[in-house]
A and B are shown apart, each in its own frame.
Chain A
Amino acid sequence: MDPLLEQWQKDYKNATPKLDTAALLSQITSARKKQSIKAWFDLVAGTFVSLFCIYALIFEATSTPEQVLYAILTPLPIGFSIWAFLKRKKLIKSNILDFNALLLFKKQQLINQINYWRLNLIGCSILWAALCITAAVSVLMYNHSTIWLIQLGIGTLVLILTLTRYLYLKYHLKGKLNYIDNLE
Protein backbone atom coordinates (compact mmCIF):
# COMPACT_ATOMS: atom_id res chain seq x y z
CA MET A 1 0.00 0.00 0.00
CA ASP A 2 1.08 3.57 -0.66
CA PRO A 3 3.00 4.68 2.49
CA LEU A 4 1.27 8.06 2.44
CA LEU A 5 -2.15 6.42 2.40
CA GLU A 6 -1.03 4.13 5.19
CA GLN A 7 0.07 7.15 7.26
CA TRP A 8 -3.25 8.89 6.57
CA GLN A 9 -5.16 5.79 7.63
CA LYS A 10 -3.29 5.90 10.92
CA ASP A 11 -3.90 9.63 11.33
CA TYR A 12 -7.55 9.20 10.48
CA LYS A 13 -8.06 6.54 13.16
CA ASN A 14 -6.18 8.72 15.65
CA ALA A 15 -8.48 11.62 14.81
CA THR A 16 -11.44 9.83 16.39
CA PRO A 17 -13.25 12.45 18.48
CA LYS A 18 -13.48 11.75 22.21
CA LEU A 19 -16.51 9.63 22.90
CA ASP A 20 -18.65 9.09 25.97
CA THR A 21 -20.38 5.98 24.68
CA ALA A 22 -22.47 5.49 27.82
CA ALA A 23 -23.86 9.04 27.52
CA LEU A 24 -24.44 8.57 23.80
CA LEU A 25 -26.34 5.36 24.39
CA SER A 26 -28.43 6.96 27.10
CA GLN A 27 -29.21 9.99 24.89
CA ILE A 28 -30.30 7.94 21.91
CA THR A 29 -32.30 5.51 24.07
CA SER A 30 -34.16 8.50 25.46
CA ALA A 31 -34.54 10.13 22.01
CA ARG A 32 -35.89 6.88 20.58
CA LYS A 33 -38.36 6.56 23.45
CA LYS A 34 -39.58 10.12 22.82
CA GLN A 35 -39.95 9.43 19.09
CA SER A 36 -41.86 6.26 19.83
CA ILE A 37 -44.18 8.01 22.32
CA LYS A 38 -44.78 10.82 19.81
CA ALA A 39 -45.58 8.34 17.02
CA TRP A 40 -48.05 6.47 19.22
CA PHE A 41 -49.56 9.72 20.50
CA ASP A 42 -50.11 10.94 16.92
CA LEU A 43 -51.81 7.68 16.00
CA VAL A 44 -54.00 7.51 19.13
CA ALA A 45 -54.92 11.21 18.92
CA GLY A 46 -55.85 10.88 15.24
CA THR A 47 -57.96 7.79 15.94
CA PHE A 48 -59.61 9.45 18.94
CA VAL A 49 -60.60 12.57 16.96
CA SER A 50 -61.96 10.45 14.11
CA LEU A 51 -63.97 8.38 16.59
CA PHE A 52 -65.30 11.58 18.14
CA CYS A 53 -66.40 12.75 14.67
CA ILE A 54 -68.27 9.45 14.20
CA TYR A 55 -69.91 9.93 17.62
CA ALA A 56 -70.91 13.50 16.69
CA LEU A 57 -72.22 12.32 13.32
CA ILE A 58 -74.47 9.70 14.97
CA PHE A 59 -75.53 11.39 18.20
CA GLU A 60 -74.93 15.14 17.92
CA ALA A 61 -75.67 16.21 14.35
CA THR A 62 -79.13 17.68 14.09
CA SER A 63 -79.26 18.64 10.42
CA THR A 64 -78.08 17.25 7.08
CA PRO A 65 -75.34 19.92 6.60
CA GLU A 66 -73.94 19.01 10.04
CA GLN A 67 -74.00 15.32 9.16
CA VAL A 68 -72.22 16.04 5.87
CA LEU A 69 -69.64 18.15 7.72
CA TYR A 70 -68.89 15.39 10.26
CA ALA A 71 -68.82 12.76 7.50
CA ILE A 72 -66.19 14.82 5.66
CA LEU A 73 -64.19 15.46 8.83
CA THR A 74 -64.16 11.84 10.07
CA PRO A 75 -61.42 10.39 7.80
CA LEU A 76 -59.14 13.44 8.00
CA PRO A 77 -57.48 12.98 11.45
CA ILE A 78 -56.88 9.25 11.08
CA GLY A 79 -55.80 9.80 7.48
CA PHE A 80 -53.27 12.37 8.64
CA SER A 81 -51.98 9.98 11.33
CA ILE A 82 -51.50 7.18 8.79
CA TRP A 83 -49.78 9.60 6.39
CA ALA A 84 -47.39 10.70 9.16
CA PHE A 85 -46.72 7.06 10.08
CA LEU A 86 -45.92 6.09 6.47
CA LYS A 87 -43.75 9.19 6.08
CA ARG A 88 -41.68 8.12 9.11
CA LYS A 89 -41.25 4.65 7.60
CA LYS A 90 -40.15 6.16 4.28
CA LEU A 91 -37.66 8.39 6.06
CA ILE A 92 -36.16 5.39 7.86
CA LYS A 93 -35.85 3.53 4.55
CA SER A 94 -34.01 6.51 3.05
CA ASN A 95 -31.14 5.73 5.44
CA ILE A 96 -30.20 2.67 3.41
CA LEU A 97 -30.56 4.15 -0.07
CA ASP A 98 -27.64 4.45 -2.46
CA PHE A 99 -26.00 7.85 -2.65
CA ASN A 100 -27.65 8.85 -5.95
CA ALA A 101 -31.02 7.45 -4.87
CA LEU A 102 -30.70 9.45 -1.66
CA LEU A 103 -30.06 12.64 -3.62
CA LEU A 104 -33.10 11.93 -5.81
CA PHE A 105 -35.13 11.37 -2.66
CA LYS A 106 -33.92 14.72 -1.27
CA LYS A 107 -34.83 16.50 -4.49
CA GLN A 108 -38.29 14.95 -4.42
CA GLN A 109 -38.69 16.06 -0.80
CA LEU A 110 -37.99 19.67 -1.82
CA ILE A 111 -40.50 19.46 -4.67
CA ASN A 112 -43.10 17.89 -2.36
CA GLN A 113 -42.52 20.67 0.14
CA ILE A 114 -43.27 23.31 -2.50
CA ASN A 115 -46.39 21.42 -3.61
CA TYR A 116 -47.53 21.14 0.01
CA TRP A 117 -47.20 24.89 0.57
CA ARG A 118 -48.83 25.68 -2.80
CA LEU A 119 -51.83 23.56 -1.78
CA ASN A 120 -51.84 25.26 1.60
CA LEU A 121 -51.84 28.66 -0.09
CA ILE A 122 -54.72 27.72 -2.38
CA GLY A 123 -56.72 26.38 0.59
CA CYS A 124 -56.02 29.48 2.67
CA SER A 125 -56.95 31.76 -0.23
CA ILE A 126 -60.29 29.99 -0.72
CA LEU A 127 -61.05 30.15 3.01
CA TRP A 128 -60.02 33.81 3.13
CA ALA A 129 -62.25 34.67 0.15
CA ALA A 130 -65.17 32.82 1.77
CA LEU A 131 -64.50 34.66 5.04
CA CYS A 132 -64.47 38.01 3.20
CA ILE A 133 -67.84 37.29 1.57
CA THR A 134 -69.37 36.10 4.86
CA ALA A 135 -67.95 39.08 6.73
CA ALA A 136 -69.22 41.52 4.09
CA VAL A 137 -72.72 40.06 4.23
CA SER A 138 -72.69 40.04 8.03
CA VAL A 139 -71.44 43.59 8.35
CA LEU A 140 -73.63 45.08 5.65
CA MET A 141 -76.87 43.20 6.47
CA TYR A 142 -76.66 42.55 10.23
CA ASN A 143 -74.17 45.14 11.40
CA HIS A 144 -72.02 42.54 13.24
CA SER A 145 -68.68 44.12 12.55
CA THR A 146 -66.21 43.52 15.45
CA ILE A 147 -66.10 39.70 15.47
CA TRP A 148 -65.91 39.50 11.68
CA LEU A 149 -63.17 42.11 11.46
CA ILE A 150 -61.12 40.16 14.05
CA GLN A 151 -61.63 36.93 12.11
CA LEU A 152 -60.75 38.67 8.86
CA GLY A 153 -57.61 40.10 10.47
CA ILE A 154 -56.50 36.65 11.71
CA GLY A 155 -57.35 35.11 8.33
CA THR A 156 -55.34 37.78 6.49
CA LEU A 157 -52.36 37.21 8.79
CA VAL A 158 -52.46 33.46 8.18
CA LEU A 159 -52.72 34.06 4.44
CA ILE A 160 -49.75 36.46 4.46
CA LEU A 161 -47.63 34.00 6.48
CA THR A 162 -48.51 31.14 4.12
CA LEU A 163 -47.78 33.26 1.07
CA THR A 164 -44.44 34.42 2.53
CA ARG A 165 -43.39 30.84 3.31
CA TYR A 166 -44.39 29.65 -0.17
CA LEU A 167 -42.56 32.50 -1.94
CA TYR A 168 -39.47 32.00 0.24
CA LEU A 169 -39.31 28.28 -0.55
CA LYS A 170 -40.00 28.87 -4.25
CA TYR A 171 -37.27 31.51 -4.43
CA HIS A 172 -34.69 29.14 -2.90
CA LEU A 173 -35.82 25.93 -4.63
CA LYS A 174 -33.64 26.30 -7.74
CA GLY A 175 -30.52 26.96 -5.68
CA LYS A 176 -31.19 23.96 -3.44
CA LEU A 177 -31.82 21.66 -6.43
CA ASN A 178 -28.65 22.93 -8.13
CA TYR A 179 -26.67 22.26 -4.97
CA ILE A 180 -27.90 18.65 -4.90
CA ASP A 181 -27.20 18.29 -8.64
CA ASN A 182 -23.62 19.36 -8.02
CA LEU A 183 -23.21 16.61 -5.42
CA GLU A 184 -24.15 13.89 -7.93
Chain B
Amino acid sequence: MSKKDHIHEVLLQYAPLMARIAATHEADQALREDLLQDISLAVWHSVENFIGDSSMKTFIAKVAHNRAVDHVLKETRRQDRHNLSDPLLDLVSTDSHQHSDNTYDLMTAMRRLPLKFRQVISLQLEGFNQAEITHTLGINEANVAKRASRALVQLQKLMEQ
Protein backbone atom coordinates (compact mmCIF):
# COMPACT_ATOMS: atom_id res chain seq x y z
CA MET B 1 0.00 0.00 0.00
CA SER B 2 1.40 3.40 -0.97
CA LYS B 3 1.90 6.17 1.59
CA LYS B 4 -0.95 8.15 0.05
CA ASP B 5 -3.31 5.17 0.17
CA HIS B 6 -2.38 4.58 3.81
CA ILE B 7 -3.18 8.21 4.70
CA HIS B 8 -6.46 8.02 2.79
CA GLU B 9 -7.38 4.90 4.71
CA VAL B 10 -6.53 6.55 8.04
CA LEU B 11 -8.60 9.61 7.14
CA LEU B 12 -11.59 7.53 6.08
CA GLN B 13 -11.40 5.39 9.19
CA TYR B 14 -11.24 8.31 11.58
CA ALA B 15 -13.45 10.82 9.72
CA PRO B 16 -16.41 10.26 12.12
CA LEU B 17 -14.13 10.87 15.14
CA MET B 18 -12.80 14.08 13.55
CA ALA B 19 -16.33 15.18 12.61
CA ARG B 20 -17.53 14.73 16.19
CA ILE B 21 -14.61 16.74 17.55
CA ALA B 22 -15.39 19.47 15.01
CA ALA B 23 -19.05 19.40 16.05
CA THR B 24 -18.20 19.87 19.72
CA HIS B 25 -16.29 23.03 18.86
CA GLU B 26 -18.39 24.62 16.13
CA ALA B 27 -22.16 24.92 15.81
CA ASP B 28 -22.29 26.59 12.41
CA GLN B 29 -22.45 23.96 9.68
CA ALA B 30 -20.33 25.75 7.08
CA LEU B 31 -17.65 26.61 9.63
CA ARG B 32 -17.79 23.07 10.97
CA GLU B 33 -17.11 21.70 7.49
CA ASP B 34 -14.17 24.08 7.16
CA LEU B 35 -12.88 22.93 10.52
CA LEU B 36 -13.21 19.28 9.51
CA GLN B 37 -11.21 19.96 6.36
CA ASP B 38 -8.60 21.80 8.39
CA ILE B 39 -8.38 18.90 10.85
CA SER B 40 -8.11 16.36 8.02
CA LEU B 41 -5.33 18.33 6.37
CA ALA B 42 -3.49 18.66 9.68
CA VAL B 43 -3.79 14.91 10.22
CA TRP B 44 -2.40 14.28 6.73
CA HIS B 45 0.60 16.54 7.42
CA SER B 46 1.14 15.21 10.94
CA VAL B 47 0.91 11.48 10.27
CA GLU B 48 4.54 11.67 9.08
CA ASN B 49 5.50 12.76 12.63
CA PHE B 50 3.66 9.85 14.25
CA ILE B 51 6.25 7.86 16.17
CA GLY B 52 3.93 5.24 17.59
CA ASP B 53 4.07 6.41 21.21
CA SER B 54 0.27 6.11 21.37
CA SER B 55 -2.49 4.52 19.33
CA MET B 56 -3.31 6.12 15.98
CA LYS B 57 -6.75 7.04 17.35
CA THR B 58 -5.19 8.95 20.28
CA PHE B 59 -2.76 10.68 17.94
CA ILE B 60 -5.55 11.79 15.62
CA ALA B 61 -7.68 13.00 18.53
CA LYS B 62 -4.73 15.11 19.71
CA VAL B 63 -4.22 16.70 16.30
CA ALA B 64 -7.98 17.26 15.92
CA HIS B 65 -8.27 18.90 19.35
CA ASN B 66 -5.32 21.17 18.63
CA ARG B 67 -6.85 22.33 15.37
CA ALA B 68 -10.19 22.82 17.13
CA VAL B 69 -8.54 24.99 19.80
CA ASP B 70 -6.91 27.02 17.05
CA HIS B 71 -10.28 27.39 15.36
CA VAL B 72 -11.99 28.51 18.59
CA LEU B 73 -9.28 31.12 19.16
CA LYS B 74 -9.60 32.46 15.63
CA GLU B 75 -13.38 32.54 15.62
CA THR B 76 -13.58 34.11 19.06
CA ARG B 77 -11.26 36.81 17.84
CA ARG B 78 -13.23 37.39 14.67
CA GLN B 79 -16.55 37.75 16.40
CA ASP B 80 -18.68 36.12 19.01
CA ARG B 81 -20.08 33.87 16.33
CA HIS B 82 -20.30 30.73 18.43
CA ASN B 83 -24.00 31.05 18.87
CA LEU B 84 -24.35 28.19 21.28
CA SER B 85 -28.06 27.77 20.81
CA ASP B 86 -27.77 27.13 17.06
CA PRO B 87 -29.61 23.96 16.21
CA LEU B 88 -27.65 21.13 14.67
CA LEU B 89 -30.14 20.30 12.01
CA ASP B 90 -28.11 17.64 10.28
CA LEU B 91 -27.57 15.43 13.28
CA VAL B 92 -27.90 11.77 12.60
CA SER B 93 -30.31 10.10 14.94
CA THR B 94 -31.06 6.44 14.75
CA ASP B 95 -33.38 6.22 17.70
CA SER B 96 -36.67 7.81 18.68
CA HIS B 97 -37.61 11.49 18.61
CA GLN B 98 -36.91 11.69 22.34
CA HIS B 99 -33.44 10.35 21.67
CA SER B 100 -32.90 12.97 19.01
CA ASP B 101 -33.81 15.71 21.50
CA ASN B 102 -31.32 14.29 23.97
CA THR B 103 -28.62 14.24 21.32
CA TYR B 104 -29.28 17.86 20.38
CA ASP B 105 -29.16 18.86 24.03
CA LEU B 106 -25.92 16.99 24.62
CA MET B 107 -24.02 18.62 21.74
CA THR B 108 -25.39 22.07 22.54
CA ALA B 109 -24.60 21.66 26.21
CA MET B 110 -21.09 20.44 25.41
CA ARG B 111 -20.37 23.56 23.38
CA ARG B 112 -21.41 25.64 26.39
CA LEU B 113 -18.70 24.07 28.54
CA PRO B 114 -15.37 25.84 29.03
CA LEU B 115 -12.83 24.48 26.54
CA LYS B 116 -10.75 22.57 29.12
CA PHE B 117 -13.84 20.69 30.33
CA ARG B 118 -15.22 20.22 26.82
CA GLN B 119 -11.99 18.54 25.70
CA VAL B 120 -11.95 16.06 28.57
CA ILE B 121 -15.63 15.18 28.33
CA SER B 122 -15.57 14.77 24.54
CA LEU B 123 -12.62 12.39 24.81
CA GLN B 124 -14.36 10.50 27.59
CA LEU B 125 -17.53 10.18 25.54
CA GLU B 126 -15.40 9.04 22.61
CA GLY B 127 -14.32 6.12 24.79
CA PHE B 128 -10.76 7.13 25.63
CA ASN B 129 -9.45 5.98 29.01
CA GLN B 130 -7.76 8.29 31.50
CA ALA B 131 -4.22 7.46 30.34
CA GLU B 132 -5.14 8.19 26.73
CA ILE B 133 -6.77 11.50 27.70
CA THR B 134 -3.62 12.36 29.66
CA HIS B 135 -1.52 11.68 26.56
CA THR B 136 -3.86 13.61 24.26
CA LEU B 137 -4.08 16.75 26.37
CA GLY B 138 -0.65 16.67 27.99
CA ILE B 139 -1.99 17.09 31.52
CA ASN B 140 -1.51 14.72 34.46
CA GLU B 141 -4.01 12.06 35.49
CA ALA B 142 -5.09 13.90 38.64
CA ASN B 143 -5.94 16.92 36.52
CA VAL B 144 -7.84 14.78 34.03
CA ALA B 145 -9.88 13.22 36.85
CA LYS B 146 -10.62 16.63 38.38
CA ARG B 147 -11.64 18.15 35.06
CA ALA B 148 -13.71 15.12 34.13
CA SER B 149 -15.73 15.17 37.34
CA ARG B 150 -16.32 18.94 37.13
CA ALA B 151 -17.21 18.64 33.46
CA LEU B 152 -19.77 15.92 34.20
CA VAL B 153 -21.41 18.04 36.90
CA GLN B 154 -21.53 21.11 34.66
CA LEU B 155 -22.81 19.12 31.72
CA GLN B 156 -25.55 17.57 33.83
CA LYS B 157 -26.60 21.03 35.05
CA LEU B 158 -26.69 22.34 31.49
CA MET B 159 -28.74 19.37 30.30
CA GLU B 160 -31.28 19.94 33.04
CA GLN B 161 -31.80 23.58 32.05
Q: Which of A129-184 contact B (CB under 8 A)?
A: 172, 176, 179-180, 183-184
Interface string of B1-21 (1 = CB under 8 A from A): 000000010011001100110
What residues of chain B lie closer than 8 Å to A12, measured between beta carbons? Answer: 20, 106-107, 122, 125-126
Q: Which of B68-110 contact A (CB under 8 A)?
A: 69-70, 73, 76-77, 88, 90-95, 99, 102-104, 106-107
What residues of chain B lie closer than 8 Å to A72, measured between beta carbons? Answer: none
Q: Which of A91-128 contact B (CB under 8 A)?
A: 92-103, 106
The range of chain B's interface size is 35 or more
Is A14's CB under 8 angstroms from B103's CB? yes
Is A32's CB under 8 angstroms from B125's CB? no
What residues of chain A lie closer than 8 Å to B8, measured between beta carbons? Answer: 25
- Across the interface, B138 reaches (CB within 8 A) one of A7, A19, A98, A106, namely A98
Is A18's CB under 8 angstroms from B90's CB? yes
- A3 CB–B CB distance under 8 Å: no
Interface of chain B: mostly helix, strand, loop or mixed: helix
Nearest-neighbor residue (CB-CB) of B91 within chain A: A15
Give min CB distance, B51 to chain A, whole Å: 10
- Across the interface, B19 reaches (CB within 8 A) one of A5, A11, A16, A103, namely A16
Interface string of B113-155 (1 = CB under 8 A from A): 0111001001011110000000001110000000000001001
Interface string of A1-41 (1 = CB under 8 A from B): 00011011101111111110100110110011001000000
Is B46's CB under 8 angstroms from A95's CB? yes
What residues of chain B lie closer than 8 Å to A93, measured between beta carbons? Answer: 49
Partner-B contacts on A (CB < 8 A): 4-5, 7-9, 11-19, 21, 24-25, 27-28, 31-32, 35, 92-103, 106, 172, 176, 179-180, 183-184
